[in-house]
Every structure is written in structure tokens, then in C-alpha cells.
Amino acid sequence: MTKPVIVTRSGKGVALTYEEQDANFTNLQNATITVSDGTNSKAIDLNGTIQFTAGSNITLSVNATTGVITINSSSGGMTDIVQDTSPQLGGNLDVNGKKIVSVTNGTVWLQPNGTGAIYLDCTGGGEIEVTGLIRLEGASTITDISGTLILSSSVGDITLSGDGLTLTNNTSSNPALTIQNSTTGTPSNTTTPATWLKVRVGSTTRYLPLYS
């Protein structure tokens, strides 16, 4: 809006001339107000009409007495996130000290598309703790591509079971499985083992004694 130039008696200090009064009325008559949506704008005469058009699922109403404009959503909008059937994150999700949970024994799925992977990153010094059962279904592989894969338990047993369990090393110069005691020297138990662990390295089969 361009502010019209108006000459006032208080500003001039004396009475206005007829020409000055006529100029005031002309400037007021030619004054406009600008309506903008942030991209497009339009100058409208002060005695013009601003018309609003409702979009999809929007209703407009004008109070003829007060001139108040009310804008409503006829669809009501979303009242719960479950109404968004294809939500997407615009940034990292901060759980804010909470958990991602399910109810009524529901399963929590992490399912990347195609060849996508799931990364659990604890490179900052944290740990991945699992309470309960880890189950691999189908043709599943646990692989460490850059170092040593360690299975360790300080409170219980580690059990690997399957219908033919195979441990494979990617290099031919190292055995597929290494079982190492935390101490060195001669084992204190020299009795007959309770059972044997069969380990196959390439074409060679070895038997390791296991004591109960």
C-alpha cells in the first residue's frame, strides 16, 4: 500500500487552501491496498472488494455485522498420526528417552527396501544389548567384513545350534573356528571328555574334547 500524501492544518500551521483540500481528496481516492500471498501481489482500491476462494475441504464464512472471516477445514484434518498412511521423516527421529514399542504381542518390523541394509551403529563407544532370543530365519548370514566377530557371555552360555552348523572363514590360511581358553598351560581336566566337538577345516576334520 502506498500511503497517500495528505496535507493537514496542524502540519501546515495555517488553514488549507481549496487546492490543497482538493489534492487531499484526490490522493485518498487514488489510494490502494496491496494483497499478497508472499509470491504474487495485487493492488486493490480502498473501495474495492477482496474476495477469498475456498480450496479443497475448506469452507469460508463472513460475519455480515462484524466483518470477521472464519476459515474451517470441512474434512477436520488429521487428529492422530495413524491417519497418515505414508508418513515420512523430515529429519532424524529423537526418541527423547522413550522407546519404540508395540502392544498385544505385536511384532516390530525393520524392513529396508530391496538391497537396503539395517545398520546398528555404536562406533561412539556404546553397546548393542539383546534381551531374549535372536532368531535367523531362512538362509541367513552373520558376517563381519572388517575385523573379528566375538560372541561373549559373562553370565551364561552361548549356544549355536542348527541342522548342520557351518562356520566359514573367508581366508584359507586361518581356521574357521577358534576356541580359546582364558588361561594358558595344560588343562586341569584330563579325564575322558563328555563329548566331542567336530570341526572341519577345508577337507580336514578335527575333534575337540568338551568336558561337562
pLDDT, residue 181, reads: 46
- Domain ranges (residues) in the chain: 9-72, 161-181+188-212
On the CB side of 9, CA atoms within 13 Å amount to 6
Average pLDDT of the residues in 114-141:
78
Q: Which among 179, 164, 168 has a CA at the least distance from the CA of 209?
A: 179
Task: Output the DSSP codes for 108-159.
Answer: PP---STT-------TTS------S-----SS-----SSS------SSS---
Query: Does residue 153 register a pLDDT over 70?
Result: no
pLDDT, residue 36, reads: 84
Three-point CA angle 183, 152, 121, nearest 5°:
135
Average pLDDT of the residues in 132-161:
65
pLDDT, residue 101, reads: 93
Query: Does residue 92 register a pLDDT over 90?
Result: yes
**Cβ within 8 Å of residue 167, ≥6 positions away:** 176, 177
Question: Given its phi and psi angles, is residue 57 left (phi above 0), alpha (psi -120 to 50 degrees) or beta?
Answer: left
pLDDT, residue 145, reads: 57
- Name which of 36-50, 83-97, 122-136 the model is least confident about: 122-136
Q: Cell numbers 588361561 label which residue?
A: 183
Average pLDDT, the chain: 76
pLDDT, residue 196, reads: 73
Pairing verdict, β 69-73 and 58-62: antiparallel
Average pLDDT of the residues in 2-20:
84
pLDDT, residue 182, reads: 46
Average pLDDT of the residues in 87-94:
90
Query: Does residue 204 register a pLDDT over 60?
Result: yes
Distance CA 162, CA 141 (A): 13
pLDDT range class, residue 98, cuts 50, 70, 90: very high
> What percent of the residues of the chain are helix, what percent strand, and what percent coil, each to the nearest 5?
10, 15, 75
CA distances, 126 to each of 19, 55, 149 (Å): 83, 51, 17
The more confident residue out of 127 and 21 is 21
